[in-house]
Amino acid sequence: MKRALLLAASLAVTALPAAAQRWRTLDATRQLRDTTPLRVNLEYAAGKLDVRPADAGALYTLHLRYDADRSDPLSRFDSAAHALSLGVRSHHMSWHRGEQDAGEMAATLSSRVPMDLTLEVGAVEAQAQLGGLRLTDLSVKTGAADVTVRFDAPNLAAMRAMTLEAGAAQLKLVHGANAGADRVTANVGVGSIDLDFTGPLANDVDISASVALGDLTVRASPDVGVFVDAKTFLGDLSDSGLTKRGDGWYSVGYEKATRHVRVRLRAFVGGFSLRRTAE
């Protein structure tokens, strides 16, 4: 009898006298049964994280190495709610970089299923290759992380919205033009967010951003029209090739450009930079 869900847990324990850690591994997979849209939550507190598209026959695969004294593995599929939760949930404690360097999570997701994906990470070094998936919405929430989200291939669904939040984190969006999102929300605490929209844009992009004490960088190709709302931004963007008109900064030939990136800054205190570079 074939089982839809295959779980294999290795209970090998590595004793660390100073920290009393119990390292365990978990491997899980689920076969692809249908292509019903799915809400997916990936949660990971500390360690190294890798996310990418799965092989054709799998809805997901998961590999974990985690400290059982500090966290519990998470692998739950709810067919009634069309929801999937994967990752590691910590035991009511905060994590700091370097505390769990040996921890790791590798997850793959089906490229055939439309997904509303949420990625929540703490003190994590993460690489998320999301190009080739069918993402209808994307939310990335980071703590003290170093996260790179890549779309090296086009997103295979129309993305309604993308939300990126960086507390004390460094968050990079690479080849964001392939994501197909026309609305992006970026919230920065004391970290930084780097948004790369160089390359061919299939649609205009509206970015709504708030920066507390960190930095926001937006990258766009030279042929893309760029507008920056200046109501709450008092800096000078003339070095970026923009001209001040009224309450906004405009690129040369903005009105004639076929594609546009519009940036609106809210409650702005931190730094902002625009990079006009080809892909």
Chain segment 38-84, per-residue pLDDT in tens: 999 999 988 999 999 998 899 999 999 999 988 899 999 999 999 99
Residue 3 confidence (pLDDT) above 50: no
DSSP assignments along the chain, one per residue: ---SEEEEEE------TTT---EEEEEEEEE------EEEEEEEEEEEEEEEEPPTTEEEEEEEEEETTTEEEEEEEETTTTEEEEEEEESS----TTTTTT-EEEEEE-SSSEEEEEEEEEEEEEEEE-TTSEEEEEEEEESS-EEEEE-SS--SS---EEEEEESS-EEEEESGGGG--SEEEEEESSSEEEEEE-S--SS-EEEEEEESSSEEEEEE-TTSEEEEE-TT--S--GGGTEEEETTEEEETTGGG-SSEEEEEEES--SEEEEEE---
Q: What is the pLDDT confidence band of residue 241, given thresholds at 50, 70 and 90?
A: confident
Confidence band of 271 (pLDDT split at 50, 70, 90): confident
pLDDT at 263: 94
Q: What pLDDT, on the 0 to 100 scale, is given for residue 17?
A: 42
Could you tell me the residue range of the domain that residue 139 belongs to? 23-276
In a domain, 15, yes or no: no
Report yes or no on 16 lying in a domain: no
- Identify whether 7 is part of a domain: no
Residue 185 lies in a domain: yes
Average pLDDT for residues 196-219, to the nearest whole number? 93
Q: How many domains does the chain have?
A: 1
Identify whether 105 is part of a domain. yes
Q: What is the mean pLDDT of the chain?
A: 87
Establish if 234 belongs to a structural domain. Answer: yes
Each residue's pLDDT tens digit, 8-28: 333 333 333 445 578 999 999
Residue 6 lies in a domain: no
In terms of pLDDT, which residue wins out, 29 or 71?
Answer: 29
- Residue with more model confidence, 121 or 1: 121
Please report whether residue 190 resides in a domain: yes
How confident is the model at residue 80, as a pLDDT? 95
